[in-house]
Amino acid sequence: MCSSPTSDIEGMNDLRASVHKEEVTETQPRYNIRRKELKKIHKVALLGDIRNMEQLLLHGKNVNKRDKRKRTPLHLACTIGHADMVDFLVERKCKLDLYDGDYRTPLMKAVQYQEEACVTTLLEHGANPDLTDKFGNTALHYAVAGENTSIVEKLILYHANIEARNKVEFTPFLLAVNENNHKMVDLLIREKADVHVVDKFKRTALMLAAPSKSPDIVRLLLQQGVNTSSRDERGWTARDYNVFNRSDG
């Protein structure tokens, strides 16, 4: 029996992680932050205290200083959504594309928490939207998972690879289909995403959107002329997926 699309994707829970499930600090409801892990410069970034940040840098503190989880001040500012602090750090020539201990860049964190002003600043100053986390997900995957069409459009405007594949070869388009997000699927089609792409298991978008699960998306895919007779690596067609989903329900 074929497992469900989501169960096959290592890291999908991380990709869709909800803010409220993460630990909180004394002052901010985001990121998994313990104050004892932070140097003064990280605490200042977390609070968005530009005056104190300026003083620290004037006294020779490293603008790219890492905490115990390899997060820079920029990671923290992006996660919390302190757009003014992000602007300040970028102006001080901080490195934009460093990974934290979870292999996420500041841009990924800003996208994950839907801090669009921070996303814009990073992209305008040359942050790379095509870097990948340990599961192969790009910032665009995170934006699709977060269901934020505005950020998706912005990333594509700054030339994010719309066909980027994660470790199970999900493109952002396949991810949107798998998440049953009609609005996102429609947007990516308008942005010329490849609707005929298959994942690591040779599953098509139509298989992921079996009619009993996503009838509106199925209709949209059929309008694009997708192949209804394609078979995955087990020989299943989209019709087989539909039958399986109906019997499973």
Contacts of 26 (CB under 8 A, 6+ apart): 35
* pLDDT at residue 31, as a whole number: 61
Tell me the C-alpha distance between 218 and 222, whole Å: 6
Tell me the C-alpha distance between 155 and 119, whole Å: 9
* pLDDT at residue 7, as a whole number: 45
* pLDDT at residue 21, as a whole number: 33
* pLDDT at residue 42, as a whole number: 95
| Ranges of the chain with pLDDT below 50 | 1-8, 18-29, 247, 249
* pLDDT at residue 221, as a whole number: 96
DSSP 65-97: ---TT---HHHHHHHHT-HHHHHHHHHTT--SS
* pLDDT at residue 210, as a whole number: 72
* pLDDT at residue 5, as a whole number: 47
